[in-house]
Structure 1
Amino acid sequence: FMQHETDIGRLCVGIVIGIVAGEISSFIYLSLFYVFGIRPKRAEKQSLKPFARVAMPIAASSYVTSILHTVENVLIPYCLALFGNDRAESLAQFGLIRGMVIPIVFFPFAFLSSLVSILIPEISRLNTRVDKTARDARIERVLFLAFVFSTAVGGVFFFFPEEIAVLLYKDAAAAPFLRLIALVTPFMYVETIADGLLKSIGEQVYTLKTSIINSVCRIVIIYLLVPRAGAMGYTYLLIASNTFAFLTCMIRIRKKSAVRFFPMQSMVLPLAVTVALALLCRRLLGLLSFLPSGAAVVAVIGVFVLAYFGFCGILLKKRGVFNGH
């Protein structure tokens, strides 16, 4: 309805209205599904303590993280202004990273999260068993899949940042930031998955603590670094913060399970394949100059994806990621 609207304020209001309408629709749908679909006819009385023990840390983590992120989002434009930009330019740079780069980076994550969201309840069920062998095997497969998938995504963003930015936004301004954040895209993806895995095995209190520590450190570093380094300093902060979160999650999983890591198969080999294919695809992009630029970029990325996952599919099958046992 607002495709021809040019007023920024009205466009923002339209976006907010759309988000609110979507949330209300989702709530109504799920409520109806529960009432008429899955609610038991005779609900047995159960103690709320086991549920509260799980739900309270997760809820607290969401609330605290939301508050700290709000502080962070308010502080960043202020610190960018101290770097030497006026307020409008500071907000523009902040919007460039949070509104353009980050959505691009996390868009492919939807495909991975859909699969993992199916596996995490299964891991929670297996966690109730005395023998944790099956649980650890599932965790190992999920992490392996996350590494393989995220390495390809990071490679695409690192080797084709200008092309992707121009294709999506008709402007290459986001390309330098996209290339930098691409370096830690695997860490960002795997950390998000690992956080969910930790919660599925009862480590929600630990994730709450690390989330608070990470957020507080981010705020302090924003206050100290961004006024001196500007938007690029904020990008470096994102890299450091996500690396820290990745390491804390992986160390905790290693401590609380018997999960085995195979760096050669899950990291080195996918990275080598990514680099080799990306370099070949860049050459291919030059050969497709007779096509419209957007079509050439889509075609080349499509070739990369097919070739990469064709190769890694063999690796995934060999590792038993798609097996049910």
Structure 2
Amino acid sequence: MKAKLFLKNTVILTVGSIILRLIGVAFGAYLSRQIGAEGMGLYQLVFSVYNFASTLATSGIYLSVTRLVAEGIGRGSYADANDAMRKCMIYGVIVSTVAASALYGFSVPIGTKLLDDPRTVLSLRILACALPFMAFSSSLRGYFFAIRNVVKSTSSQILEQLIRMAVVSVGLTILLPKGMTWACAAIALGSVGGEALAFLYTLVLYLRDRRKRNFTPKRQKETTRRVLAITIPVALSSYLRSALVTIENILIPRGFKKYGATGQSALAQYGMMEAMVMPILTFPSAFLTSFSSLLVPELAEAAAVGNRRQINRLASRVMQLTLFFSLPITAAFIAFGEDLGLAVYQSAEAGAMLRVLAPLVPMLYLDTVADAMLKGLDEQVSSLRYSIIDSAISVVLIYLLIPIYGVNGYIAVMFISTFVNAALSINCLVRVTEIPFSLGDWVIKPIIAVTASSIGVLYLVRGLTFSSHAMAVVVKAGLMLLCYFGLLLLTRAVTFREIRDFRRILHPKDQKSQIAPAPHRQASHSL
């Protein structure tokens, strides 16, 4: 039953994540048409500071709730889970109030001195109001993940985005004629409205769920200690990591200016890279993001009862699945990137940049799932340490390379930082688990399959005329994925038996014996 619930939640989260990504991409395309590339750069600059403030307000809360509630439920004690939830919410009230006050109080020096653009001040003040709502929502969503009721968490996020889009659309209609300052303010108002109403919705769902539970409330000093033991190290590391990321985002447009771009052009280049290209590059990871989120409570429970066999087998299958998934996405961006850029943003330049950055996809996606598994295995501090190392390297390279090489310097920084972060995370995961790795089945055969599929599809569709760039992407990518999956089965890089058996590893009680690899598929290489 638990395996079925996991798969059901994976489907729900995947669908929800795809909807959220589609909303995000559609919203980004709408904003780019309304405020242009310069406006997107200004918007991204404001939200780089807001993201740092949100890290101050929420970091560690979601993971603490998910871990402690899942462990309490795993022990059969909802009273422990309730105590953890209550104390995490108190912690959230305190830190979010401090963060909101700081963002509002220092908005003028941040906007005029740090961001070097007074147009950002009003938006920063508005966004400060969203932080307390965000902290509460983080606790509530962590609770629903821990009890495996992801519909409520996902629906609240979709509601938040829809409200945000509605408020922004109305706000831009009224405020855009007043200039870019007020346009960004309209976007900030959308974020506040979305966070506030989503919080109220999730709170109602939480109170209804809590009333269904029969338990005697109790308060334990041990719970407080455990909450602080998880949140404080994660928070401090996240603060440093987020500060470095914010510095990165500030240095990038400044680096473009030093390279020779005007202020407007620098913001336009920055907006295209961060607000247009990167969302498309990470969009296909919706499935992996959903799956990774569910791995945290699953691995936390397995670790709590010492089930190393399930941990090792789950980690192995997930890493293999991630490689199989990321390689055709990479090929699709390389082969059809121009059509995709034109379909979404009416920008050939964005499409060209997608093709250049496409090789980042496997490392980005592997890092995503490795990071989630490390958090479930109580290695969240290690994961954050690697992110800090990655960001520190990025800051130095951005400072040195972009003023000299411009966009090419930015691309070099992206490749170096992504590789470093992913390599460190994967190495840590291998160290704390035992992952059998087959170079032939995991890497060589999928690369051959995806290369043959891409070349074959490009040959088959040459000369065909499509009604739109979007239709061209759908047809070409669909044909390529069908060919790719068929070749994986043909080369036995993956088998139907492995597909059927994957669900069994989610819960050791669902199987009577260990699923051993077939003799001809023994691991041929060790990480």
Please, what TM-score do these two structures have when normalized by structure 2? Answer: 0.58
1:24 is aligned, of 164, 189, 196, to 196
**Residue number in structure 2 paired with 1:33:** 205
Say if 2:491 is the partner of 1:319: no
**Residue number in structure 1 paired with 2:219:** 45
Question: Structure 1's 124 and 278: CA in aligned 2 closer, same or farther, altered over 3 A?
Answer: same
Shift of 1:27: 1.9
**Residue number in structure 1 paired with 2:417:** 241
Say if 2:350 is the partner of 1:174: yes
Question: Structure 1's 220 and 275: CA in aligned 2 closer, same or farther, altered over 3 A?
Answer: same
Instruction: Point out which structure has higher relative CO (alpha carbons under 8 A, 6+ apart).
Output: 1
Q: How far apart in 2 are the matches of 1:303 and 1:23?
A: 40
The answer on whether the counterparts of 2:374 and 2:380 sit within 8 Å (CA) in structure 1 is yes
Q: How far apart in 1 are the matches of 2:233 and 2:488?
A: 37
Question: Structure 1's 18 and 268: CA in aligned 2 closer, same or farther, altered over 3 A?
Answer: farther
Runs of 4+ aligned structure 1 residues displaced above 6 Å come to: none
The answer on whether the counterparts of 1:187 and 1:243 sit within 8 Å (CA) in structure 2 is yes
Shift of 1:124: 1.5
Shift of 1:248: 0.4
Spell out the pairing of 1:140-289 with structure 2 (5 A cutoff): 140-289=316-465
Partner AA of 2:445 in structure 1: L
Structure 1: gaps spanning 5 or more residues: none
Q: Which stretch of the first structure deviates more once superposed, 44-53 or 210-219?
A: 44-53
Shift of 1:308: 2.8
Say if 2:308 is the partner of 1:132: yes
Question: Structure 1's 271 and 14: CA in aligned 2 closer, same or farther, altered over 3 A?
Answer: farther
Partner AA of 2:336 in structure 1: F
Question: Residues 181-219 of structure 1, C-alpha deviation per residue, up to 9 Å, x if partnerless?
Answer: 111111001101111111111111211221111111111
Shift of 1:290: 5.5
When the two chains are superposed, the root-mean-square deviation of aligned CA atoms in Å is 2.3
- The 3-state SS of whatever aligns with 2:306 is coil
The answer on whether the counterparts of 1:281 and 1:304 sit within 8 Å (CA) in structure 2 is yes
Q: State the aligned residue count.
A: 325
Partner AA of 1:125 in structure 2: E
Shift of 1:23: 2.1
**Residue number in structure 2 paired with 1:295:** 471
Q: Which stretch of the first structure deviates more once superposed, 124-133 or 191-200?
A: 124-133
Say if 2:297 is the partner of 1:114: no
Question: Structure 1's 89 and 265: CA in aligned 2 closer, same or farther, altered over 3 A?
Answer: same
Question: Residues 223-270 of structure 1, C-alpha deviation per residue, up to 9 Å, x if partnerless?
Answer: 001111101211111111011111101111111111222222222222
**Residue number in structure 1 paired with 2:187:** 15
User: Which of the two has greater helix per residue?
Assistant: 2
The answer on whether the counterparts of 2:295 and 2:373 sit within 8 Å (CA) in structure 1 is no
**Residue number in structure 1 paired with 2:239:** 63
The answer on whether the counterparts of 1:136 and 1:257 sit within 8 Å (CA) in structure 2 is yes
The answer on whether the counterparts of 2:445 and 2:488 sit within 8 Å (CA) in structure 1 is no
Partner AA of 2:338 in structure 1: E
Question: Residues 68-116 of structure 1, C-alpha deviation per residue, up to 9 Å, x if partnerless?
Answer: 2111111111111111111111111111110111000111111221123
The answer on whether the counterparts of 2:341 and 2:352 sit within 8 Å (CA) in structure 1 is no
The answer on whether the counterparts of 2:461 and 2:476 sit within 8 Å (CA) in structure 1 is yes
Question: Residues 169-192 of structure 1, C-alpha deviation per residue, up to 9 Å, x if partnerless?
Answer: 111111332112111111001101
The answer on whether the counterparts of 2:296 and 2:375 sit within 8 Å (CA) in structure 1 is no
- The 3-state SS of whatever aligns with 1:323 is helix
Shift of 1:43: 2.4
Partner AA of 2:193 in structure 1: A
Q: How far apart in 2 are the matches of 1:159 and 1:133?
A: 40
Question: Structure 1's 19 and 305: CA in aligned 2 closer, same or farther, altered over 3 A?
Answer: farther
Partner AA of 2:502 in structure 1: F
Q: How far apart in 1 are the matches of 2:431 and 2:468?
A: 52
Structure 2: gaps spanning 5 or more residues: 1-165, 506-527
Q: How far apart in 2 are the matches of 1:216 and 1:230?
A: 19
Structure having the higher Rg = 2
